[in-house]
Structure 1
Amino acid sequence: MTVSGFESPIADLPRGSDGLATTDDALSRLRERLPTFLERVVADAGAEGVVVPLDGGVETALAATFAVDAVGQDRVTGFVMPAFLSHEAVSRNAEAVATSLGIDHSRLQLQPVLAAFQETIGGSSGPADDLVATTNALSRLRMTCAYYVANATDALVVGPINRTQYLLGSVAKHGETGADCLPFADLYRAELEALARAVGIPQDLTVEASGSPLHPGGSPATGLDTDPETVDRILRRRIDEGVDAGTVADRTGVETETVERLAAWVERTRHKRRRPVRPSTRI
């Protein structure tokens, strides 16, 4: 979606020596610009409000917070959509965020929906017991639920994914990426965690629950002996700025192989960031 006459919220952000927009000035600008961005998105669409899927992580907490700043608490609806008992703790976190913001919210238990879906697919010789297929289907069921409510209330769906997830493909295609706007898709997880601290999001969300188990997408970062913030610095330098792998390795204190592995994964998951291929598309 194009927001008419509006400059990117991340344009000209002051950055630290590591390339990340975590300086006080950058965070101050983001706190001002992101709600304005959401306000303009809603106005541009002539929508009545927004729907925010809440998963107990920092991204959805920030999305709901900025949505309230943008359009007011009466025009924001939150949905918590667990499917398993292991989701209980983060679901309580999500509900606490919604309560603190004063927004209408509901918990939708998706286990019966998922079970019925798997039974139907299993009856047609589909991959009902495939873990990856099931995880992706669950993400798409959440997207479908959010859009059902958004369609019924003339609202827009706000997607909470960050740039780290977006580049590494640790999201389900047409799942978490299925939204009317992705306000954080150009901000790395480390930047969002710094922003969350500046806004006042509780520390247990910014540290313990970042990357909610409601969306356990695969990523090479989990198999590297590298902390998440260093991963963000590598991606920023190698992917966004185009710095060669050897130089990035020297600047971040990791092996060149680590930089190359992350860059290769970004390329491998490019299909998740592309629109559907058309006959005129250059492959």
Structure 2
Amino acid sequence: MVRERTLWLVDRMRTAMDHCEDYSEYLKELEEISPNVGVYNMCKSDYPDEMLAEIIEGYEQYARTLSREELISLVREFQNGDTTEGKDSLIVYAVDYNSLRPDGSDILICPEDYFEDNESPSPEMIIDLLLDNSKKTNKVPEVKEVPIDMDRDHLLWMLKRLKSLKGHSEEYGEYLKEFGSLCPYPIVHRLCIKDYPDEIIAEIIEGYFKFDKALSREELVFLVKEYQNGPKTEGRSFLIITAISHNSMHTDGTRLLLHPEDYFDSNESPSPEMIVDLLLDNSKKY
């Protein structure tokens, strides 16, 4: 019955959002199930309802401190490939939460990059590397260079090729690395498994490093103004949210962008400057 309730809440919230209706009742109940997953952004994603419900129900159980044995069990499950997309996402969350290395999910998704003499490292080897940032492998992970000025047609061709390899883990992992100098390839992987259209993924890849970096107040104000006016594409919207997430000092960063009216009691239409000032100062009050 729990899953049926979660699915119903997800469906009702998405329907309310699509029709610009009040969804606060559904959001509140979903956030009681998982306070930290970011329910609003999840419901805005292209995840199927069943996958989203699985993530919401499981997030708090996975995104926490786990023992070495628990992590090994999860990596083994991930390698066996008998899981759902929701379970795969939860395992990635668990690995990211527990990893002492910044490339935690990379090691899980493409472990062959990190073990020169072993293309199929065991779950134990992967976890030992994840939990020891000083641990050395036989090679530094390689990223095959891709020209930064790659034209859109070639990038689209690469994406079609990448998607055609899903289900062939070794070939898929190798080809995924081709995107490394354009965009972190775990980002590319996540966009592909969400089945974003190729044009949108290409736009995100081309602009990722321009947005996922420290920006000035003036640059952020410009982006918030653009978002308020309605970005021309879904890819551009994704990039603006990426920039806000990277630069926000406020715990509710992206929600401030998406629902600023919740944060300004006396102003239902706060200016871009007001939004950015609050983003950059968590102590600021309105």
Given the two structures, how large is their TM-score scaled by the length of structure 1?
0.27
Q: Which of the pair is proportionally richer in strand?
A: 1
Q: Which of the pair is proportionally richer in helix?
A: 2
Q: Which has the larger radius of gyration?
A: 2
Given the two structures, how large is their TM-score scaled by the length of structure 2?
0.27
With CA pairs under 8 Å and 6+ residues apart, which has the higher RCO, 1 or 2?
A: 1
